[in-house]
Amino acid sequence: MGVLTQIWEAIPVYTGLSSVTFCTLVALLMAVYYVVSVMFAPPEFKYVPMEPLPPPVQLGTMTEEELSVYDGSDPKKPLLMAIKAQIYDVSQSRNFYGPGGFYSQFAGKDASRALAKMSFEEKDLNGNLEGLSPYELDALNEWEFKFQGKYVKVGQLAKPEESSGQTVREIPVKEASNEEAKVEGENPVTVDAETKKDE
């Protein structure tokens, strides 16, 4: 007697079901499993090659309103973000700062206060450094250092009409390294007096 025949005859003994009923049930269960697993399978990953980013373009001095246009909502425009009034092209990190990105609130803004305070609150999404503690100003300087090393600075924010009482000085900064980048005007980096004091 073949093994299969033995199994066939053992099925009613062990399951209490006829061999045909048992096989039909197994086939049905397999069909249900297949349908359910297809329904809940993750979508097939499709590799979409990214278009190479255009080289950063120097934009000179702009207002906060002008900067807000570069928040990633228009995919044809570069993604910009400012720290301490210095504007950086963060297009290469669209996954962070683009729409839906974890840090998308920072795009198109001077996010100094938020970064200094490690805050995502609306009231901190600006470049106001007033009242920041030395610790927060240090944190901000670290962010600035990171950005200077990672991104190309493409401009600066126009100074507000009313000075917040903080003096500025210029320090050397990594300039746009891309030779293709057009350069308009100067690239001063502003550092508030309080920061300088803490250094």
Per CB under 6 A, the list member of 34, 120, 135, 145 interacting with ligand HEM is 120
Say whether 174 sits in a helix, a strand or coil.
coil
Query: Dihedrals φ, ψ of 46, to 5°?
Result: -110, 125
| 148 binds ligand HEM per the rule CB under 6 A | no
Per CB under 6 A, the list member of 55, 103, 168, 188 interacting with ligand HEM is 103
| 8 binds ligand HEM per the rule CB under 6 A | no
Asked if 134 and 119 touch (Cβ cutoff 8 Å), the reply is: no
| 96 binds ligand HEM per the rule CB under 6 A | yes
Supply 47's token pair: 């590799």
| 114 binds ligand HEM per the rule CB under 6 A | yes
Per CB under 6 A, the list member of 9, 33, 34, 150 interacting with ligand HEM is 150
Q: What's the CA gap between 57 and 30, in Å, rounded?
A: 59
Q: What's the CA gap between 87 and 127, in Å, rounded?
A: 11
The residues that touch ligand HEM, with contacts defined as CB under 6 A, are 90, 93, 96, 103, 114-115, 118-120, 150
